[in-house]
Structure 1
Amino acid sequence: MPRRTATLLTSTLLLIALLCAGVLMSVPYAEMSPGPTVNTLAEHDGEPVVQISGHRTYPVSGHLNMTTVRVTGADYPMNLIEAISGWLSNDDQVVPRETIYPKGQSAQQVDRQNAEEFTQSQDSAKVAALRALHIPVASRVVVGTVLKGGAAEGTLHAGDVIDAVDGTPVKEPADVAKLVTKHHPGQTVEFTVTPAKGGGQRRLTVGTKAQDGRAVVGIQAAAAHSFPFTIDIKLADVGGPSAGLMFSLGIIDKLTPTDLTGGTFVAGTGTIDDDGKVGPIGGIALKAIAARDAGARFFLTPKDNCAAAAKDTPAGLRLVKVGTLDDALAALKDIREGKTGALPACPVH
């Protein structure tokens, strides 16, 4: 066999061996890529994303799309070839697996946390939207979670309404921790509660334990709201809190005669709290790509994500910086009136 032929054959066999090794060799990474977008003003899987009953609604047009990031599954064994391909891609990101699936948490625990955050984001989106429209929302402080092994386990239960601590009425979830930590570890605290399972108001004595030198009872207080009419958000297979802003805007658009988008394709992202503050999210660059690929012209971007998003803005997409729900509503007013030169931009640093 000629030397050149032998060299080519050896090189080919070596390349094949390396490729096989790359396919068989799993690496501790996961891939993130642009996910689907969903118009909060339209239907998804055959039913409206935002459903309102018990209050007048108005026709809507255009798009207010929430955006997502697609990730490889917790049990997916990414191989070396896939990792290299992802690193070389402009539209994908390869990150350490622990970034998405932290050590010590099972895939089921991560999914459950994402589902809880998604549910909480829907609740805050409703509150923020109604407050923006000056529609009263009743709220109360409840036991959100009882920690296993905590002092309150067996005495307080998730959903119990916390009326007072040591006789002092509570108005916000943070009030509970402030009142409890006035005690020394080992002392008792009196909770006045209305049980979630029914029955009249009760006074319950709960012991405390030490945590970081402070007294705790082992609960997480939360806010529960009562809405004056029904607002349902129907969207399966989505987790996390990042759609809060777009849900709020979708609700407002349906409850007001003003067509918020003026028929324009607007997408966006951002968490939202009860007071309408917009918070940062992960995967901003991938969500911007998803928005552009879906046809969006404008992308509502949390102000704390602006610097990262502006580094590589997809062609044809205009980033609009927002820090609150009011900022987003003002930006939509400028968009539908054609005053796009006034839109707050994400500056490139």
Structure 2
Amino acid sequence: MSRRALTLLVASFLVLSLGIVGALMKVPYVVLSPGPTENTLGLVEKKPVITITGRQTYPTNGALSLVTVAYQGGPSSRIDLLTALRGWVDPDVAVVPEETIFPDTRSQKEVEEENTVEMTNSQDFATAAALTELKIPYRTAVSVVSTDAGRPAHGKLLKGDEVTAVDGRPADDVESIAAAVKAVRPGTSLTFTVTRGKEQLKVAVPTVAGADGKSVVGMAMQASYKFPFEVDINVGDVGGPSAGLIFSLGILDKLTPGELTGGKKIAGTGTIDPSGAVGPIGGIAQKMVGARQAGATVFLTPADNCAEAVKSAPKGLRLVKAETLHDTVVALDALRTGKGGVPSCSG
């Protein structure tokens, strides 16, 4: 065998060996890529994404699309080295350390469950923000989630009790109830007015000193919203809070005459709170790629993500800065009518 043939044989063997090793070697990285987009004005699995019952709705047009990030990898299904290498050379995806998505303190299942809870909360926040923008009143309810064994509330306040007042003062949110408890000296008894089933009860609960020396009763609470009509959001297998802004806009569009989009294909992202404030999200680069691939020409971008978004925005995608729901509605009106300025991520 000639030296050249031997060299080729050895090189081929080394390449094959490296390929086998790369295919078998698992690495603690996660590949992030553009995920599916869903038009909140359209259908998912033949069902409307947003269904409103008990209130007049109006026809819509165009698209207000939520965007997602798909991932490969995780502690229970690690990717191989070759998959990671392909990701590193693909400009449309990102390869990040596993702990970025799945912290050591939580399992993959716990992270996925948390994403599901965040998606549910984002839908409530989106509805609340839309109704706040439209000046439609709604009520906040605070319910007992659990009580701590050995603490005064245990056995007195029950899971599901709706707390409506503390010592006669209306309980509007979790923070006001917690503040009312901390405001008294440890040992003071407080009267909680609760709705339990169809009954309204007054329950006396003594306080004790917590770890910081301030009063506690030993209960966990959760806020929920009582809306004057039903808003149902169907997005299939999507988690996380980042679709809040788009949900709010979709609800607004259905509840108001005219077309918020002006017939354009608009996509966007951003968390939202009940006041309408828009917050930042992760995976902005992959979400913009997914939006453009779906035909969007306008991308609503949280203000805190603008600097990053400008660096990697796909050609043909106009970035509109979103700070609040109200400002975003004004910007969409300006885009549709051509009147007024449109806030841009580029200044």
| CA drift at 1:208 | 4.1
Q: Is the 8 A contact 2:44 2:236 kept in 1?
A: no
Task: Flag the 1:21–1:250 CA change in 2: closer, same or farther, 3 A.
Answer: same
- Aligned counterpart, 1:221: 221
- Aligned counterpart, 2:24: 24
* Separation in 2, partners of 1:68, 1:332: 22
Q: Is the 8 A contact 1:158 1:196 kept in 2?
A: no
Task: Flag the 1:207–1:28 CA change in 2: closer, same or farther, 3 A.
Answer: farther
- Aligned counterpart, 1:286: 286
- Aligned counterpart, 1:127: 128
Is 2:113 the partner of 1:112?
yes
Gaps of 5+ in 1: none
* Separation in 1, partners of 2:67, 2:229: 27
Q: Is the 8 A contact 1:180 1:189 kept in 2?
A: no
Q: Is the 8 A contact 1:166 1:189 kept in 2?
A: no
- Aligned counterpart, 2:345: 346
SS at match of 1:121: helix
| CA drift at 1:218 | 4.2
TM-score when normalising by structure 1: 0.91
Task: Flag the 1:20–1:256 CA change in 2: closer, same or farther, 3 A.
Answer: same
Is 2:30 the partner of 1:7?
no
What code does the residue aligned with 2:99 have? E
- Aligned counterpart, 1:86: 87
Task: Flag the 1:158–1:90 CA change in 2: closer, same or farther, 3 A.
Answer: farther
- Aligned counterpart, 1:160: 161
Task: Flag the 1:147–1:271 CA change in 2: closer, same or farther, 3 A.
Answer: farther
| CA drift at 1:3 | 1.6
SS at match of 1:200: strand
After superposition, where does 1:57-68 map in structure 2 within 5 Å? 57-68=57-68
What code does the residue aligned with 1:46 have? K
- Aligned counterpart, 1:245: 245
* Separation in 2, partners of 1:288, 1:216: 46
- 1:103-153 deviation line (CA, Å, top 9, x unaligned): 23223222221111111111111111112111111223333x336668345
TM-score when normalising by structure 2: 0.92
* Separation in 1, partners of 2:270, 2:345: 15
* Separation in 2, partners of 1:4, 1:13: 14
* Separation in 1, partners of 2:119, 2:291: 20
Task: Flag the 1:303–1:56 CA change in 2: closer, same or farther, 3 A.
Answer: same
Task: Flag the 1:201–1:225 CA change in 2: closer, same or farther, 3 A.
Answer: same
* Separation in 2, partners of 1:59, 1:189: 54
After superposition, where does 1:38-57 map in structure 2 within 5 Å? 38-57=38-57
* Separation in 1, partners of 2:79, 2:149: 38
Q: Is the 8 A contact 2:126 2:247 kept in 1?
A: yes
Q: Is the 8 A contact 1:141 1:172 kept in 2?
A: yes
Instruction: Please provide the CA RMSD for this pair.
Output: 2.2
Q: Is the 8 A contact 1:125 1:248 kept in 2?
A: yes
- 1:2-40 deviation line (CA, Å, top 9, x unaligned): 222212211211121111111111111111111111111
| CA drift at 1:163 | 2.3
SS at match of 2:67: strand
After superposition, where does 1:143-182 map in structure 2 within 5 Å? 143=144, 145-146=145-146, 151=151, 152-182=153-183
Deviates more, 1:272-281 or 1:94-103: 94-103
What code does the residue aligned with 2:114 have? Q
Gaps of 5+ in 2: none
- Aligned counterpart, 2:141: 140
After superposition, where does 1:286-305 map in structure 2 within 5 Å? 286-305=286-305
Task: Flag the 1:189–1:9 CA change in 2: closer, same or farther, 3 A.
Answer: farther
Q: Is the 8 A contact 1:265 1:295 kept in 2?
A: yes
Deviates more, 1:251-260 or 1:73-82: 73-82
| CA drift at 1:221 | 3.2
What code does the residue aligned with 1:301 have? T
Task: Flag the 1:51–1:201 CA change in 2: closer, same or farther, 3 A.
Answer: same
Deviates more, 1:273-282 or 1:163-172: 163-172
What code does the residue aligned with 1:347 have? S
| CA drift at 1:211 | 3.7
| CA drift at 1:195 | 4.2
Task: Flag the 1:326–1:2 CA change in 2: closer, same or farther, 3 A.
Answer: same
* Separation in 2, partners of 1:274, 1:92: 32
Deviates more, 1:254-263 or 1:104-113: 104-113
SS at match of 1:328: helix
